[in-house]
Amino acid sequence: MTAAILSIGTELTRGELINTNAAWLGEELTKLGFDVTEHATVDDDLDRIVTLVRRFSENHRVVIATGGLGPTSDDLTTEAAAKAAEVGLRRDERVVEGIRQKFKAFGRVMPESNAKQGDFPLGADVLPNAIGTAPGFAMTLGGARLFFVPGVPREMKHIFRESILPAVAPLAERRTHQVHIRTFGMTESGVAQAVRHLETEHEGLTLGYRAHFPEIEVKVHVRAATAHDATERAEAIASEVRRILGDAVFGGKEDSFGEVVGAALRDKGKTLAVAESCTGGQVGEMLTRFPGASDYLLLDAVVYANSAKEAVLGVSPELLRAHGAVSAETAASMAEGALRVARADIAVSITGIAGPGGGTEDKPVGTVFFGLARKGEPTITKHRTLPWGRDRVQTLSAYVALELVRRAVLGRDLNLGER
């Protein structure tokens, strides 16, 4: 029971657009129980589209194609589908009238070119599109059921949920289950090396890895005799993966790192103050993108200039002159100042050189210091040298700071290590 995804559009092959549709569809089909074994992207060329449609229909049970259903001359998907099936096109006047009414609702007259969106291969079933002008369609070719939908992600997802999902769900074998485990603090190779032995110990297990800087996601995919068996075994193996990876695991598929840290603060009844220099507010943004952050976040001070460090956090000019803004001593003073000003339970600070300029021989670009201050506890500092460019230095620094907070709140080892 294999499935394939065909993405159509020259803007995709040229790299002008990122193909998020294929990733989303692949995950949805996998959840249903299909083995998604092929993704292909093709430009707006009639013969190349026809070739792929025919090949996919010969090798797969379900094919979903996105893109090329618009009103312009380079939208060739409908014509290609008809040519692949060796049938003609028919115009559905009801669909054309529906498109005309959508234009009218916006105070516009439908261009005649949009009428082609009412053309479908003979024998195809129309898939309504309530949120766009281009309907999709479905057809059978050989032993495959093919679905053609617009490339606009919002419209594609709507048609998938409303029309494709009910049609393909009964076709899936439903003998698989996948668990997502999100980690931070280990490299992709380190994660893989730690858990790869499980594949030889568990029949039907496939481990997958997805790097989304600076996180690594582990996908535990199990195929078994029944859906129930697959679910039980996948959950059991996932528990083993979590045990092996330990503190690096922070959540599952839908979890965000900032949200997880915020939830830990809320659960423990702790409040947080943040002092950021080189990250420019990223820590605060990661925490406040979710509602309810005011329960635990009392302060996020972005103090780039030394004068701001002095005025807002009380960092002494003498300390700054003696050690510099990028130093363990300044990081400690920043965290202590944030703790004092906000009257929080925990404070974390970041000061560093994100680049591309500003580095020295002693403190090259990528040098970052972190401070962690807690009520009734000694202040600790951490140092990292992060050689991956400004954006990554900032992002990884924000994660390291929140990881320190997470571990402090949960009472875990604060030695982050170098994994």
E strand spans, 69-121? 89-91, 119-121
- Greatest CA separation for the chain: 83
Radius of gyration of the chain from its Cα atoms, rounded to whole angstroms: 27
Q: State which residues form the domain around 205.
A: 176-252
Domain count, the chain: 3
Tell me how far the alpha carbon of residue 265 is from its chain's centroid: 24
CA distance 368 to 354: 8
If one counts every other C-beta atom within 10 angstroms of the C-beta of residue 292, the result is 12
Domain boundary among 140, 156, 171: 171
CA distance 386 to 364: 9
Neighbouring residues of 236: CB distance < 8 A, sequence distance ≥ 6: none
Neighbouring residues of 170: CB distance < 8 A, sequence distance ≥ 6: none
**What is the band of 419 on the pLDDT scale with cuts at 50, 70, 90?**
very low
Structure tokens at 328: 């363990």
**Per-residue pLDDT for 33 more than 90?**
no
**Per-residue pLDDT for 20 more than 50?**
yes
Closest to 259 (Cα-Cα) out of 298, 282, 299, 288: 288
Q: What is the pLDDT of residues 256-314, one digit of tens each?
A: 999 999 999 999 999 999 999 999 999 999 999 999 999 999 999 999 999 999 999 99
Task: Say whether both 181 and 165 belong to one domain.
Answer: no
* H/E segment holding residue 4: strand 2-8
CATH code of 185's domain: 3.30.70.2860
Long-range contacts, 213-216 (Cβ 8 Å, 24+)? 213/392, 213/395, 213/396, 214/184, 214/392, 214/395, 214/396, 214/399, 215/182, 215/183, 215/184, 215/257, 216/182, 216/183, 216/184, 216/186, 216/187, 216/188, 216/191
Q: Does residue 418 form part of some domain?
A: no
Task: Say whether both 242 and 290 belong to one domain.
Answer: no
**What is the pLDDT averaged over residues 400-409?**
97
* H/E segment holding residue 105: helix 93-105
Task: Say whether both 182 and 133 belong to one domain.
Answer: no
Task: Say whether both 248 and 267 belong to one domain.
Answer: no
Q: Does residue 222 form part of some domain?
A: yes
Task: Say whether both 29 and 150 belong to one domain.
Answer: yes
Structure tokens at 417: 């290590």
pLDDT at site 417:
64
Q: Are 282 and 289 in contact (CB under 8 A)?
A: no
DSSP state of 356: S
Query: Beta strand pairing status for 62-66 and 2-8?
Result: parallel
CATH code of 268's domain: 3.90.950.20
Q: What is the pLDDT of residues 134-171, one digit of tens each?
A: 999 999 999 999 999 999 999 999 999 999 999 999 88
pLDDT at site 194:
97
Domain boundary among 171, 197, 229: 171
Task: Say whether both 111 and 55 belong to one domain.
Answer: yes
Q: Does residue 149 form part of some domain?
A: yes
Strand, coil or helix: 18: coil
pLDDT at site 279:
97
Q: Which stretches within 175-256 are classed as H helix?
A: 188-195, 197-201, 227-245
**What is the pLDDT averaged over residues 378-400?**
94
Q: Is the pTM of this model over 0.85?
A: no
CA distance 222 to 142: 30
CATH code of 64's domain: 3.40.980.10
Closest to 124 (Cα-Cα) out of 169, 79, 61: 79
- Beta-bridged to residue 211, according to DSSP, are 216
Domain boundary among 152, 171, 190: 171
Task: Say whether both 305 and 393 belong to one domain.
Answer: yes
Q: Does residue 320 form part of some domain?
A: yes
pLDDT at site 387:
78
If one counts every other C-beta atom within 10 angstroms of the C-beta of residue 359, the result is 15
- Beta-bridged to residue 352, according to DSSP, are 368
Query: Beta strand pairing status for 215-223 and 35-42?
Result: unpaired
CA distance 20 to 8: 13
Q: Does residue 397 form part of some domain?
A: yes
Task: Say whether both 223 and 282 belong to one domain.
Answer: no
Task: Say whether both 268 and 402 belong to one domain.
Answer: yes
CA distances from 273 to 46, 162, 251, 283, 404 (A): 59, 45, 23, 10, 13
Q: Does residue 241 form part of some domain?
A: yes
pLDDT at site 418:
46
If one counts every other C-beta atom within 10 angstroms of the C-beta of residue 239, the result is 13
Task: Say whether both 365 and 406 belong to one domain.
Answer: yes
* H/E segment holding residue 196: none
Task: Say whether both 293 and 234 belong to one domain.
Answer: no
Q: Does residue 415 form part of some domain?
A: no
The structure tokens 């979890």 sit at 255
Q: Are 204 and 252 in contact (CB under 8 A)?
A: no
**Per-residue pLDDT for 80 more than 60?**
yes
Structure tokens at 286: 């990661």
Residues comprising the chain, all counted: 419
Task: Say whether both 56 and 87 belong to one domain.
Answer: yes
